[in-house]
Structure 1
Amino acid sequence: MDNVVEPAIRIVKKSKKAAGSRLKNSMVVVNDAPEEVEADTVEEEELELPADSDAEGGVRLNFKSFMPEDLNNPIFKLGMTFPSAEIVRNAVTECNLRHMVDLKMPRNDQRRIGAHCAEGCPWNLYVSKDSRTKNFVVKRYVPEHNCRRERALRRCTVAWLGQKYLDSFRADPKMTLGNFGRIVQKEWNLIPSRSKLCRARSVALRQIYGDEVAQYNHLWDYGQEVRRSNPGSTFYLGLGDGHFSHLYISLDACKRGFLTGCRHVICLDGCHIKTKFGGQLLTAVGVDPNDCIFPIAYAAVEVESKATWKWFLETLKQDLNI
């Protein structure tokens, strides 16, 4: 704007009805020089100057914004805006892997990001934060490639694989590493190592189910919520050397329902807990008048042994006043 000669430019407001959600009033920049610039000749990549309803008689720049759905197949353009630097880095990584080229980012900080391809390749990208839009704007972009494709890409990381196939593991948590590797090879023509695939699967499952260590830290809060929401419930938590050892839970509604409406027969069973830390789940159930299983209490212990069964039955006896 500093290089524009003021008398040679005027802004004309055109009033016409637009179809759909377009604005009714638009601003067209007209040059008083002999050659007039018509609005139809303005290309999509050029910057438009629409009217700003918030400012009094001012103009604002309208850039093309990068949408989240564009991350699957990013296409950069001059003047395109990004809300954060992290989205710019993700778009560069996606472009790197989709075109199978080894892109480098020598400039990568909170205000500017510069990326280029291999030596001799004209592909170049420079994005920096703009003070007017308060976003990151593409200032320089050369889209042509003349380099050869790479098979081993450093940006194919464990975090990228885990995030990319998060929905696949959510649909099939028991996907094998062989099937996972074949899917990656088919979609991206990449062959990651087996250890990388294993770590990527762990990252995806941790995001889906949460961190198991952090879940153990919430047991005290869970016990307090059980006592608050169902008064009379029993919640015992045992620790060994500061770590989880055993757990006993019996809801008050289950205890009263068994004593008043079920047959006075208790059935016992145990099963394995197939998680990272393992353990055994001991259960005590009854039979209701409809001959259906009625839960009474359950306990989580380290191993199934005579000592753990004795502790579970003694606790159940005291809980039911047998």
Structure 2
Amino acid sequence: MFKWKKAADNKLKRKQSMTMLVGDENESTEEEEIDLADSDEGSNRNRFREFRQEDLLNPSFSVGQVFGTVELVRKAIIEYNLRDRVEFKMPRNDRKRVKAHCAEGCSWNFYASMDSRTNCFLVKTYNGHHNCQKKWMIKTCTSKWLAEKYLETFRADNKMTLPNFARIVQKEWNLTPSRTKLWRARKFALQTIYGDELKQYSQLWDYGQELRRSNPGSNFYLNLTEGAFSSCYLSLDAYKRGFLSGCRPIIFLDGCHLKTKFGGQLLTAVGMDPNDCIFLIAFAVVEVESLLSWKWFLHSLKDDLSIDNTFPWTIMIDNQKGLIPAVAQVFPEAEHKFCEAFVRKFPSPFQRLQPQKPVVDMC
């Protein structure tokens, strides 16, 4: 008789709890069924509304709502915070419970804790009414949050300016983050897309080894100065064979600046195929453009192409720093020509040349 009465009391308490959790009028139609084990009555099936990852786009809360992890609870509160432009405080925020409330005088509050029956976080207290003023600057609008939100935007336009970025954030979120925060967000987004430049330099040895293994005949030279990167040279085997077998004996040399975190100069050597199109031969990255860097690049290129007799070759150059004397020393018997477009754009360096000496051959 006593055991039957105890079982009846447990059943009554279970029904009251199920009525309190499930009887919410605003409960969503998309619900997940969670099995609850019962030691006395066997297995019972209650229905709870589960918060999914896609609900972060427009989060909403209700009593009895289930979250899979505490990280998802925190993300949902932050998204709700920024979507409604209100400032929340979280006096309880650990692995077993999360409590949040709005500004002083506002009735909005939220409490969720780990539920042993569902083994998930369950919303036990929630009041969604606000009577506070909305804000333009929210502390939870961090640079990392902005970088995560606009990662694909920067992937499509990696040169987006900070004023344009600020206008997009203000239009979509009605928030005005500082310029410094926008700059850090853009930095984090580009770092996620392109990776950490400093760590990429440490992978150059592995890259060179893999290049020699997968493409035999290719050359990759890496020079260090006191353990730091100084210069590198790269020429694929397919480039060299294609140039020597199907292109004219003309080499075009040029250099340009690298607009990266560490800067540097990019030196290139290209040819011209039978269709009058550019054909890459080799390139190098150096710290500065000088006579020594050009001589090192030209000696590496000459050895790569196995050029012993420089007489049949033609070298097309412009007035780069150290390039003219470097070509004269490495390719002394080759024909040296200047680009016509460069001569027309910068005629002053060539006015001192003798009229009978050809300075323009082809572009």
For this structure pair, what is the TM-score category when the shorter chain's length is used for normalisation?
Answer: 0.7 to 0.9
Amino acid in structure 1 at the alignment position of 2:77:
V
Amino acid in structure 1 at the alignment position of 2:179:
R
Map of 1:115 onto structure 2: 100
Question: In the TM superposition, what are the counterparts of 1:95-244 in structure 2 within 5 Å?
Answer: 95-244=80-229
Amino acid in structure 1 at the alignment position of 2:169:
V
Other structure's SS at 2:43 match: coil
Other structure's SS at 2:267 match: strand
Greater C-alpha Rg:
2
- Structure 1 segments, 4+ long, off by >6 Å, are 48-51, 53-56
Map of 2:285 onto structure 1: 300
Query: Is 1:67 aligned with 2:52?
Result: yes
Q: Greater shift after overlay, 311-320 or 83-92?
A: 83-92
Q: Alpha-carbon deviations, 1:242-270, whole Å to 9, x = none?
A: 11110101111211222222222221111
The structure 1 residue matched to 2:271, chosen from 276, 282, 286, is 286
Cα separation, partners in 2 of 1:80 and 1:68, compared to 1, 3 Å? same
- Unpaired runs of at least 5, structure 2: 308-363
Amino acid in structure 1 at the alignment position of 2:108:
W
| Alpha-carbon distance between aligned partners in 1 of 2:144 and 2:235, rounded to the nearest angstrom | 40
Deviation at 1:316, TM superposition (A): 1.0
Question: In the TM superposition, what are the counterparts of 1:299-318 in structure 2 within 5 Å?
Answer: 299-318=284-303
The answer as to whether partners of 2:231 and 2:284 remain within 8 angstroms in 1 is yes
Deviation at 1:45, TM superposition (A): 3.5
Cα separation, partners in 2 of 1:112 and 1:258, compared to 1, 3 Å? same
- Unpaired runs of at least 5, structure 1: 11-28, 32-36
| Alpha-carbon distance between aligned partners in 2 of 1:273 and 1:110, rounded to the nearest angstrom | 47
Q: Alpha-carbon deviations, 1:86-138, whole Å to 9, x = none?
A: 22111111111221211000111112111011122221111112223222221
The answer as to whether partners of 1:49 and 1:61 remain within 8 angstroms in 2 is no
Query: Is 1:249 aligned with 2:234?
Result: yes
Amino acid in structure 1 at the alignment position of 2:142:
T
RMSD: 3.0
- What's the TM-score once normalised by structure 2's chain length? 0.73
Amino acid in structure 2 at the alignment position of 1:102:
E
| Alpha-carbon distance between aligned partners in 2 of 1:312 and 1:49, rounded to the nearest angstrom | 66
Other structure's SS at 2:268 match: strand
- What's the TM-score once normalised by structure 1's chain length? 0.82
Aligned residues: 293
Amino acid in structure 2 at the alignment position of 1:173:
N
| Alpha-carbon distance between aligned partners in 1 of 2:173 and 2:158, rounded to the nearest angstrom | 21
Map of 1:266 onto structure 2: 251
Other structure's SS at 1:122 match: coil
